[in-house]
A and B are shown apart, each in its own frame.
Chain A
Amino acid sequence: MSDSNAIDQDGRRSNSASFEHSHGVLMNEIVPRRHVGRWIAAAVLLILTLQFASEIATNPNFRWDTFARFLFDPLIFRGIGWTLVLTIAAMAVAVPIAIALVIMRDSDNPIVRGAAWLWIWFFRGTPIYTQLLFWGLFAVLFPQLTLSVPFGPELISLETKWIVTPIVAAVLGLGFNESAYLTEIFRAGFRAIDRGQTEAAQAIGMSGIKIWTRILMPQAMRTIIPPTGNETIGMLKMTSLVLAVPFTLDLMFVSNSIANRLYQPIPLLMVAAFWYLAITSILMVGQFYLERHYGKGHDVAPSRQGAA
């Protein structure tokens, strides 16, 4: 592709003045096809988009002055902080549980396998909002949490409301629910690995744990990361449901309460939407780099070309 009349990917000449290829071959002269339908569709979309944008910009009901006033409000920033804390903490709860469930589901023991199945069945089969309401009422259901010998004497007893605080309820509710979905994702990731990988690792005398951590996990990551990234982005948005607990410090709840105070719901909704979008965009960038890291050995030539 070094000479002046190289052909680009669509088969068009980059230099139409010359027809000679560097190897002395007379190349076919290709007249690009006209994509009339595409051009019309693009024009229509462009017009609609501009119309929509100008409507949003000029419609006084959006109250852009209020939007601008609250976009960088300290209360909003605190809400963003709590939303991030909820997201990270809930995923941190969900991932280890999901790993344990993956191992349990492949156990030879039917009770261990059944327990994992039951967990997934319950948390996948009930709405997250219902679960969060339940976690909010946990302290009412079980006023005392007691550690005791099974069917024997009590060791420690504590009041539930000091342990299952709203933040704990929110994190556990979101995390337990998420663990059920992550389990299926992780399981699919490990299932996708050829059996020969385990055999090859066994053949060089590797132990079970090493086979998991050194051979299977890195390969499973490649298929696990993209859907897990999606789940993390989903979790960020799911945190807006914690008012069911009720947990009242997250971005959605804070912007909503400001909106109620001002009787201006629209601009505060736009503030919340803006920050959710901003954070998901950052998460997507992070996901790109993670995928590239775990794609090693699968891209065409990662060591030479960087992002393949």
Chain B
Amino acid sequence: MVRLDTPPAVDLQGIHKFYGSVHALRGVDLSIKKGDVCVAIGPSGSGKSTLLRCINQLEIVSAGRVFLEGELQGYTERDGKFHPLPPREVARQRRRTGMVFQGFNLFPHKMALENVTEGPIQVKGQKSKEASERGTALLERVGLTGLGDRYPNQLSGGQQQRVAIARALAMEPEVMLFDEPTSALDPELVGEVLDVITDLAKCGITMMLVTHEIGFARKVADHLIFMDQGAIVEQGAPHDVLDDPQNPRTKAFLSKVL
């Protein structure tokens, strides 16, 4: 279990999320150790993506606390009350996480390399020459050597998603978040993106992934969670959850997707 002297990379405590009257997350507790890969699976609408988006404050939790390396996200807590942080502080906290979206969300008016260097130059204040060198190296790392001067619409879906991964890595985040990174891809392009993510997982960066690729989840996950109706129903080592599910809802879901 987690040792007290080193806080977990991600620690979610009692997370609830309401959209109006819809109770999207119902008291989720989850902690991810440094260097671990946590994979969330579950049916559509089970709250996996919402949970992921709470970690980098794209969603504001209705109740509960989000900690990154022990630091409370989005608020300072005084006398039992939550005081929202100013936008500048929120932006600073977001730099600790990198996010890869289902729909890539590359900046269409910027070339691939510019997409990667935008954060380092504008947010971290890197010199553009240094940022370009690092960005080129990152594009090389995700297998896109020589494609830095392409605009996103000149790249395939798989290439775009790999640029998006490089863009997130360029900020040197402590935690990488992947929100169904291959769901928008043609089947023959899924593999190239999963290979890049698998390589990253081996490098020891802390990751949380939401995916429908069960085989991939089994391969990369250190910790697998199964979510349904806004709650974690079952969790543990991937082979335990996938091969010997205890909860009937997990069994029902796996029988459909495996």
Q: Which residues of A contact B (CB under 8 A)?
A: 194, 196-197, 199-208, 210, 214-215, 218-219, 222, 294, 296-298, 300-303
6 cross-chain pairs, A with B, having the tightest CB-CB distances, nearest first: A204-B119, A205-B95, A200-B105, A196-B105, A203-B99, A297-B151
Once bound together, how far apart are the Cα atoms of A215 and B123, in whole Å?
13
B240 within 8 A of A: no
Chain B residues in 8 Å Cβ range of A206 = 91, 119, 122-123
Given A203-B99, A205-B91, does the pair A298, B171 have CB atoms closer than 8 Å? no
Q: Is the CB of B153 within 8 A of A297?
A: yes
Chain A residues in 8 Å Cβ range of B149 = 303
Q: Is the CB of A298 within 8 A of B153?
A: yes
Q: Is the CB of B56 within 8 A of A203?
A: yes
Q: Is the CB of A199 within 8 A of B123?
A: no
Chain B residues in 8 Å Cβ range of A207 = 87-88, 91, 123
Q: Is the CB of A297 within 8 A of B105?
A: no
Q: Is the CB of A202 within 8 A of B123?
A: no
Q: Is the CB of B122 within 8 A of A298?
A: no
List 8 additional A-B contacts (Cβ < 8 Å) besides A199-B99, A204-B118.
A202-B91, A203-B58, A203-B97, A203-B99, A203-B168, A204-B94, A206-B123, A219-B109
B154 within 8 A of A: yes
Interface centre among A201, A210, A297, A303 (most CB of B within 10 A): A297
Q: Is the CB of B108 within 8 A of A204?
A: no
Q: Contact flags (1/0) for B122-154 with A, using CB distance below 8 Å?
A: 110000000000000000000000000101111
Chain B residues in 8 Å Cβ range of A194 = 103, 105
CB-defined A-B contacts under 8 Å, sample of 24: A194-B105, A196-B103, A199-B58, A199-B99, A200-B99, A200-B105, A201-B107, A202-B91, A203-B56, A204-B119, A204-B167, A204-B171, A205-B91, A205-B119, A205-B123, A207-B87, A207-B91, A208-B87, A208-B91, A210-B122, A297-B152, A297-B153, A298-B109, A301-B154
Q: Is the CB of A214 within 8 A of B108?
A: no
Q: Is the CB of B107 within 8 A of A200?
A: yes
Interface centre among A207, A294, A300 (most CB of B within 10 A): A207
Q: Is the CB of A215 within 8 A of B107?
A: yes
B110 within 8 A of A: yes
Once bound together, how far apart are the Cα atoms of A197 and B99, in whole Å?
12
B173–chain A nearest beta-carbon distance, Å:
9
Q: Is the CB of A214 within 8 A of B118?
A: yes
Chain B residues in 8 Å Cβ range of A204 = 94-95, 98, 118-119, 123, 167-168, 170-171
Q: Is the CB of A197 within 8 A of B98?
A: no
B98–chain A nearest beta-carbon distance, Å:
7
Q: How many positions in chain B have a CB within 8 Å of any CB in the partner chain? A: 34
Chain A residues in 8 Å Cβ range of B108 = 219, 297-298
A217 (CB) vs chain B CBs: closest residue: B109
Once bound together, how far apart are the Cα atoms of A215 and B91, in whole Å?
15
Partner of B109 from the list A201, A208, A296, A300 (CB cut-off 8 Å) is A296
B151 (CB) vs chain A CBs: closest residue: A297
B75 within 8 A of A: no
Q: Is the CB of B151 within 8 A of A205?
A: no
B4–chain A nearest beta-carbon distance, Å:
29
Once bound together, how far apart are the Cα atoms of A294 and B108, in whole Å?
11
Given A202-B58, A207-B91, does the pair A197, B105 have CB atoms closer than 8 Å? yes
B101–chain A nearest beta-carbon distance, Å:
6
A225–chain B nearest beta-carbon distance, Å:
13
Q: Is the CB of B151 within 8 A of A203?
A: no
Within 8 A of A (CB), among B45-98: 56, 58, 87-88, 91-92, 94-95, 97-98
Q: Is the CB of B105 within 8 A of A296?
A: no
Once bound together, how far apart are the Cα atoms of A218 and B110, in whole Å?
10
A196–chain B nearest beta-carbon distance, Å:
4
Q: Is the CB of B123 within 8 A of A296?
A: no
A197–chain B nearest beta-carbon distance, Å:
6
Interface centre among B92, B105, B167, B171 (most CB of A within 10 A): B105
B9 within 8 A of A: no
Chain B residues in 8 Å Cβ range of A214 = 118, 122
Chain A residues in 8 Å Cβ range of B118 = 204, 214
B224 within 8 A of A: no
Q: Is the CB of B109 within 8 A of A218?
A: yes
B15–chain A nearest beta-carbon distance, Å:
19
B110 (CB) vs chain A CBs: closest residue: A297
B242 within 8 A of A: no
B200 within 8 A of A: no
Within 8 A of A (CB), among B99-116: 99, 101, 103, 105-111
Q: Is the CB of A203 within 8 A of B154?
A: no
Given A298-B153, A303-B149, does the pair A205, B88 have CB atoms closer than 8 Å? no
B171 (CB) vs chain A CBs: closest residue: A204
Q: Is the CB of B119 within 8 A of A197?
A: no
B203–chain A nearest beta-carbon distance, Å:
20
Once bound together, how far apart are the Cα atoms of A35 and B20, in whole Å?
61
B128–chain A nearest beta-carbon distance, Å:
14
Q: Is the CB of B101 within 8 A of A302?
A: no
Partner of A205 from the list B107, B153, B171 (CB cut-off 8 Å) is B171
Once bound together, how far apart are the Cα atoms of A302 and B149, in whole Å?
11
Q: Is the CB of A296 within 8 A of B151?
A: yes
